[in-house]
Amino acid sequence: MRVVDLSKIFAISEVTVRSDLDQLASSSLVERVHGGAMLWPGTTGTTEPSFEQSKITSADEKAAIGAAAAELVSPGESLVIDVGTTTTAVARALAQRTDLEDVTIFTNGLTIAMELESAIPRLTVILTGGTLRPRQHSLVDPMAGMILDETNVATAIIGCNGVHPDEGVTNINLPEAAVKRRMVKAAQRIVVVAGGPKLGKISVTRFAKMSDVDALVTGGSAPPELVAEFRGLGINTTVAG
């Protein structure tokens, strides 16, 4: 809905509409976009699942994906790791790899940094800074993008809400998607981590084309026909677990 339309419908000023929408967005009930706001896809105004709610869903599969993705990292490598419950599983697995030395990791995820903290100083952990999104414990623009625009890393490990052979890699949250796009540009190799249910799904906004993706790590619930299709695109696809 546009601000101007809401103003007419409720007979209130556009200033009031913007203030109300900002309050709704702060509670993750709507997504603020230029000139108005939109509901989260597939909802009728329910809140975005929090990190704590999401992490208990398919926890074993996420742990397997995290371990498999962590095996793709080599000593001396530089990384950027995105926010999310699956990428947090990657961070946990990286911290447990005692053979990793001299690895530098940039992240915009507070949970990622906390998981990696135990592996310092073998791993150097750098937070991007930015505006905090409390439900996902993520840091977004401003600041996050400024740091990433000046960063060059070997590998980006990125989560998503959907990965589709034709429509690419998509996400539900626009501010986080904007940061993901910068991560894609900052890295030489793109590794997407996504549980089986996310394969074939399309979310609100695309942040990477499948031609940008070098590797996909998914779980045992992934539909075999989609796994074959991604491999047919030349993407190194691993089914963990």
Strand order in the sheet with 168-171: 162-164, 168-171, 205-208
Taking residues 114-140, report their average pLDDT: 92
18 shares its domain with 127:
no
Weakest mean pLDDT among 23-37, 55-69, 100-114: 23-37
- Which one has a higher pLDDT value, 34 or 69? 69
Q: How many CB atoms lie within 10 A of CB 59?
A: 12
Contact 218, 64 (CB under 8 A): no
236 shares its domain with 167:
yes
Residue range 167-225, pLDDT digits in tens: 999 998 888 999 999 999 999 999 999 999 999 999 889 999 999 999 999 999 999 99
28 shares its domain with 125:
no
In this prediction, residue 41 carries a pLDDT of: 47
In this prediction, residue 196 carries a pLDDT of: 95
Query: 31: phi > 0 → left, psi -120 to 50 → alpha, else beta; which?
Result: beta
Tell me which residue has tokens 């539900």.
172
32 shares its domain with 70:
no
Tokens of 57: 């869903």
| C-alpha pair distances (Å), 170 with each of 86, 118, 150, 151 | 15, 31, 24, 23
Tokens of 94: 């990286």
How far from each other are the two terminal CA atoms of the chain, in whole angstroms? Answer: 43
178 shares its domain with 88:
yes
Work out the pLDDT band at 101, boundaries 50, 70, 90: very high
Q: Rounded to an integer, what distance in angstroms lies between the CA atom of residue 45 and that of residue 24?
A: 10
- Which one has a higher pLDDT value, 197 or 38? 197
Average pLDDT, the chain: 90
In this prediction, residue 1 carries a pLDDT of: 83
38 shares its domain with 56:
no
106 shares its domain with 10:
no
33 shares its domain with 68:
no
In this prediction, residue 43 carries a pLDDT of: 42
Contact 105, 124 (CB under 8 A): yes
- Which one has a higher pLDDT value, 55 or 228? 228
Structural domains counted in the chain: 2
Domain residues for the domain of 33 are 3-47
Residue range 39-84, pLDDT digits in tens: 654 444 334 566 665 655 678 999 999 999 999 999 999 999 999 9
Work out the pLDDT band at 5, boundaries 50, 70, 90: confident
118 shares its domain with 171:
yes
State if pTM tops 0.85.
no
Please tell me what DSSP assigns to residue 180: H
